[in-house]
Structure formats: structure tokens, C-alpha cells
Copies of this chain bind each other. A is one copy, B any other.
Amino acid sequence: MYEGPVQDLIDALCPLPSIGPRSANRIALHFILREGGKEDAERLASALMAVQSVQFCERCHNIAADNLCRICKDERRDRAVICVVGQPKDLIAIERIRDYRGTYHVLGGLISPIEGVGPDDLHIRSLLARLTDGEVTEVILATDPNLEGQATATYLARLLKTVGVKVTQLASGLPVGGDLDYADELTLGRAFEGRRVLST
């Protein structure tokens, strides 16, 4: 046990994800003993205070510095296409490919009976509301390629059938750069199902 304030800092670091007791110790001592540690601590403290003002986009529920997020504010983004994702980090992953120019809708989770998350816990009503004005022509389902993601996509696909909008889902298949014999059977099965015609 370190003296009061040092131990308090370690205790505040410990419960954070991907930080164990050993890392918490190392980080706390970094702030105290390392050159520039004092500045790092001040910078982190003010970043933590600033992040308290973060809100969620009124339209798509993405993390936002304002009422609307950066993407919903951007006039150049195509409002006719909505890409539906589970969490903000999925949105960031898709933004990273720099190809997609449409908008997003962040569900805030995925349907998971085990964790007690049902459709009513997700931002689905606001998604439907965005489809009422007839401006949207395509909804891309980009939920995680796992059980919960697939359950959510299936649920949404069925629900959106009644709205009369084109619904698509990201392709499942072999990851680029991977070895075929390392792929699990499910992925390989999906890759077969979704095989593309190259020539006939």
C-alpha cells in the first residue's frame, strides 16, 4: 500500500478495462516519478473533465460534441443511406475505410437474450422515425458478425420489410489476408454461401 493519494490513484485506475493491478501501479508511478509525468497527469485530468460534456447525437445516437454529431452535421454526407451499427466504435471502424459517404444509426447495443437486452433497449424507434419522410433509400445492416449481431440484423430486416426500404447487410466471408485453412467452419460456410460469380 502506497501513501494516501498514490493509493487512491491506483484504486481509481484498477477498475478500468484492460488495466490490471500491476498496470495501475506502473501508470500511477509514471505520473509521480517519470519526467513529464506531472504534465501527463494534468493533461489526462483535464481531458477527463472535458469528456463529461460529451453527449449523444439527437439523430443517430453517435457520440457528439454537440446536439448533432460531426457526421449528421456534414452536408456532404448522403442522407439517403443509413448504416446501422451497434456501438460508436463500429462507426469509427467503418469511417476508417474512408469509402462510405452515407450516414449512421447507432443502436447502442445488440439484441442479447442472455444479457437481457431486447429490441426495446435499442434505438430502433428513432431509426423507424428517420425512415418516415421517404428520403432514405437504403438501410445497411452492419452489426457484428456474431450471434447477437445476426439476431439484431434478422430482427431489423423483418421489421424494415414493412417500411418498404431497401435493406442490405455487410458480406460475411474470408477475411482478406487470412489463410483459408485457419478460417473457422462458420466463416468458410458463409464464404461458400456468398460466393460471387466471376464468369459463366
Residues of A within 8 A of B (CB): 1-6, 8-9, 11-13, 15-19, 22-23, 25-33, 38, 40-45, 47-54, 63-65, 69-70, 87-89, 92, 95
Contacts and interface: CB of A to CB of B under 8 A. Distances in A.
Contact of A51 (B15, B31, B65): B31
Nearest to A29: B89
11 contacts: A1-B95, A5-B50, A5-B53, A9-B47, A9-B50, A12-B40, A16-B27, A16-B44, A19-B19, A29-B88, A29-B89
Nearest to A34: B17
A63 B9 contact: no
A5 B44 contact: no
A171 to B, nearest CB: 25
A86 to B, nearest CB: 11
Given A33-B87, A48-B41, A92-B2, A17 B9 contact: no
Contacts of A11: 47
